[in-house]
Amino acid sequence: MSNSSEKSTDVRPGVHQPCVGSLVGLVLIVLVLASSATACSMSTKASASASAAVTPSLTASSTPDAAPTPTPAATPSAMPTPKVTPRATPTPVPTADEAAFSLLCEKGTSIPSAALYAGKVHPLVVMYVSSTSIDSATGGVIHLWSPVDLGINAKWITHSWSSPIQLIVCYVEHAQRVGTCGPYGANGLPAAPGSLNTVEIHQYRDDWVARVFVARTGKYLQSKTFKGGRPKACPASVKVTRTGSGLSAEDIWGSFPRFTLLNNYATAVSTQKA
């Protein structure tokens, strides 16, 4: 019995054993292939997901955004050129100085910068015009009268007047011929009537006329004449000088009007009623 039992459990090599081995191997191959396919499928999906995640980034970075088209600035409208009306050159206003005072005495030129002639005190300046030729009241040299001779001018020089100048007093020399002496010969002694090559001299009284003007307007206001002293009588002899045209000798002049009279008149004008 024991022998038959062993025979039934014994496997014969070469018949049943190789088939089992082949079947097992085939199963293993199928399992390996299935596992490989699953792994490949998962790897493919992972790669696809990774590619999908990377692609947008690459695309965004590789394709630059289009630069915005700049909007052209609006062209400003041309401004019309303003029309400029040329202005007339203003005439210079004379200032209240010695030159302006001289022009007023000589030509009556007004001084717009001077003060209005009004009030109880009228600040003034005294000028004088000395004739350059006998019997001529014009064409002389105009000067500011020295305050040494006419003290009232010290107020203008020292700016002591209470306001700007209102009046100008122009003293003008008017030489008056009052006589003739001669003839005198070349030796300076009286010559016989009808003698040739002789010379005569004249006697003059040195008069001065005060002419008062309103400085601001140049308006003539008033005048007064101051007579000089009478000249001396004809001399017995004179000093004769020979010139290209003949003989000449100095004329005889009377004394000058007293400065006190001229200064007093100007002082009175400064307080007269306007």
- pLDDT, one tens digit per residue, over 118-164 is 999 999 999 998 764 444 444 567 889 999 999 999 999 999 998 89
Confirm whether 138 is domain-assigned: yes
Confirm whether 165 is domain-assigned: yes
- The pLDDT, as a whole number, for residue 4 is 42
Alpha-carbon separation of residue 119 from 116, 176, 212, 226, 271 (angstroms): 9, 37, 17, 27, 9
Contact 209, 171 (CB under 8 A): yes
Confirm whether 128 is domain-assigned: yes
Contact 184, 163 (CB under 8 A): no
Average pLDDT over residues 47-70: 51
The tokens describing 103, both together, are: 């022009």
Confirm whether 74 is domain-assigned: no
Residue with the bigger pLDDT between 33 and 181: it is: 181
Give the burial class of 11: count Cβ atoms within 10 A of its Cβ; 0-12 exposed, 13-18 middle, 19 or more buried.
Answer: exposed
The tokens describing 213, both together, are: 């003007």
Classify 197 in phi/psi space as left (phi over 0), alpha (psi -120 to 50) or beta. left
Find the range with the poorest average confidence among 81-90, 229-238, 239-248: 81-90
Confirm whether 61 is domain-assigned: no
Confirm whether 219 is domain-assigned: yes
pLDDT bucket at 67, cuts 50 / 70 / 90 = low
Number of domains in the chain: 1
Which residues neighbour 216 within 8 Å (Cβ) at sequence distance 6 or greater? 110, 111, 112, 114, 115, 116, 117, 166
Which of 33-47, 78-92, 101-115 holds the top average pLDDT? Answer: 101-115
DSSP letter at 65? P
Specify the residue for token string 């002694």. 189
pLDDT bucket at 75, cuts 50 / 70 / 90 = low
22 pLDDT above the threshold of 70? no
**CA 76 to centroid of chain Cα atoms:** 35
- The pLDDT, as a whole number, for residue 224 is 97
Domain span at residue 247? 98-269
Confirm whether 23 is domain-assigned: no
Alpha-carbon distance of 235 to 19, in angstroms, equals 193
Helices (H), the chain: 2-9, 16-62, 98-107, 154-157, 259-269
Confirm whether 198 is domain-assigned: yes
- The pLDDT, as a whole number, for residue 188 is 94
pTM higher than 0.85, yes or no? Answer: no
